[in-house]
């Protein structure tokens, strides 16, 4: 295929509401760019037949490739296949092989197939079926004139699987492509990162440079246009310069998360982790166990929300609680020590504080947090003043605790 201009269409009325975003579009923009196909437009449209057809009609005028996600489900508001077939004047027919795969999927799960799911076996005449091994709605590929249309399910895992297995291989190699990299930075503000990297940014050309503040971190987004098959030399150079300037503040790249990095370090070092949480309510443990294979290094956690729980379960001395209560550096340190002792782990993290809306009195406003780390070299605590909502305070406290562990392990390795 000779494709250079793409349009993405996200179908779903929920995507027009304030609580949902089109994450599929971000993924597709990247993987298409890596094939040299520039996404020129992204459209979001609700589940209305006329509106969907209008979106495709406009896209046909300005794109070589249209990739639509969503609207291929079994319910009456899933209208994408019908809308496209109607717009192109193509009859829909029931594809027997697709129907068999759907029926077999329900049999494997020991469930009867609802009659509505037969709709997902309806295929526009002339369309190529793209198998969906994770769900019931197959992808569809059509051509009309010089335009290629790809219809994909809106479920992210299913969309990505079909894209990787069936869509990208059909696009072929490009004469040039876009290379991307996201460099993730912890422990510095956006303005401080900007100041420290000003000289690097001035010499970033021909790479596009964007600095963004994300929850609990700062990100440098890099994009470089390179000949197909050639490495992204400029991005590699800039990456190295950023790492030399910021050192341990750089913690991850691209889709890697803080908990991914911490898990990898624990695996390599053959060490283990436990946690004791108060204001975070188990969020540290939740982040750690989000990573596949976390059972190799995570021993367990305790949510000790009251002074009594901190004393009885974690062994925080009564004298410490009498002196500073549930929130303070000594309490955080004792909580981490207690979790390490309780679970027999190499390392333990703790978090205690005031998530808001109330604080702990003078000197301890909402957002006052203490995170603790217990390890082979003893205990370390850090006081934080985190602005924002209750959830922001909890989330940033959990991330900071994990970063404290990451730095301790990295410094020990060095």
What pTM was computed for the model? 0.81
Closest by alpha carbon to 129, among 142, 139, 143?
A: 139
What is the model's pLDDT at position 279?
A: 95
What is the model's pLDDT at position 3?
A: 59
CA 171 to chain centre: 26
The DSSP-derived string for 129-193 is: EE--SSSS--EEEEEETTEEEEEE-SSHHHHHHHIIIIIHHHH---SEEEEEEEEEE-SS-HHHH
Q: Is 308 exposed, middle or buried (0-12, 13-18, 19+ CB in 10 A)?
A: exposed
pLDDT along the chain (414 residues), means of 10: 82 92 93 90 97 98 96 94 97 95 92 92 96 95 96 97 95 81 96 96 91 92 85 91 97 96 97 98 98 97 96 96 94 98 98 93 92 96 94 95 97 70
Taking the domains of the chain in order of start, what are their residue ranges?
5-171, 176-253, 258-413
Which CATH class for the 176-253 domain? Answer: alpha beta
Rounded CA separation 53/55 (Å): 5
Query: Does residue 220 contact residue 246 with C-beta atoms inside 8 Å?
Result: no
CATH of domain 5-171: 3.40.980.10
Residue the block writes with tokens 């003078």: 362
**CATH superfamily of the domain spanning 258-413:** CinA-like (3.90.950.20)
């Amino acid at each position: 295929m000779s494709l250079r201009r793409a349009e993405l269409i996200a179908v779903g009325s929920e995507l027009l509401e304030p609580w949902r975003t089109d994450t599929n579009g971000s993924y597709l923009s990247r993987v298409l760019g890596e094939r040299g196909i520039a996404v020129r437009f992204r459209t979001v449209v609700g589940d209305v037949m006329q509106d969907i057809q209008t979106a495709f009609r406009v896209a046909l005028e300005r794109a070589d490739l249209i990739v639509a996600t969503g609207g291929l489900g079994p319910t009456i508001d899933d209208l994408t296949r019908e809308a496209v077939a109607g717009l192109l004047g193509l009859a829909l027919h029931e594809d027997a092989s697709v129907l068999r795969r759907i029926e077999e999927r329900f049999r494997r799960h020991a469930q009867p197939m609802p009659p509505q799911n037969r709709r997902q076996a309806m295929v526009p005449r002339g369309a190529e079926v793209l198998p969906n091994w994770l769900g019931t709605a197959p992808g569809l590929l059509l051509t009309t004139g010089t335009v290629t249309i790809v219809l994909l399910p809106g479920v992210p895992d299913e969309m990505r699987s079909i894209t990787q297995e069936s869509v990208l291989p059909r696009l072929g190699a490009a004469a040039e492509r876009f290379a991307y990299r996201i460099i993730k930075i912890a422990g510095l503000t956006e303005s401080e990162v900007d100041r420290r990297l000003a000289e690097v940014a001035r010499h970033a050309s021909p790479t596009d440079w964007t600095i963004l503040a994300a929850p609990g971190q700062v990100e440098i987004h890099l994009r470089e246009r390179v000949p197909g098959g050639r490495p992204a030399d400029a991005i590699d150079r800039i990456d190295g310069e950023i790492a030399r300037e910021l050192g341990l503040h750089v913690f991850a790249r691209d889709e890697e998360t803080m908990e991914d990095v911490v898990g990898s370090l624990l695996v390599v070092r053959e060490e283990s982790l436990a946690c004791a949480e108060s204001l975070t309510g188990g969020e540290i443990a939740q982040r750690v166990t989000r990573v596949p294979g976390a059972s190799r290094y995570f021993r367990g956690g305790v949510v000790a929300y009251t002074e009594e729980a901190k004393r009885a379960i974690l062994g925080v001395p009564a004298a410490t609680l009498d002196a500073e209560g549930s929130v303070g550096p000594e309490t955080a340190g004792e909580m981490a020590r207690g979790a390490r002792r309780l679970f027999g782990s190499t390392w333990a993290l703790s978090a205690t504080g005031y998530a808001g809306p109330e604080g702990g009195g003078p000197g301890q406003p909402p957002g006052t947090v203490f995170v603790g780390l217990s390890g082979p070299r003893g205990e370390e605590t850090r006081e934080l003043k985190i602005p924002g909502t209750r959830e922001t305070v909890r989330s940033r406290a959990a991330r900071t605790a994990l970063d404290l562990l990451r730095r301790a392990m990295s410094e020990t390795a060095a």
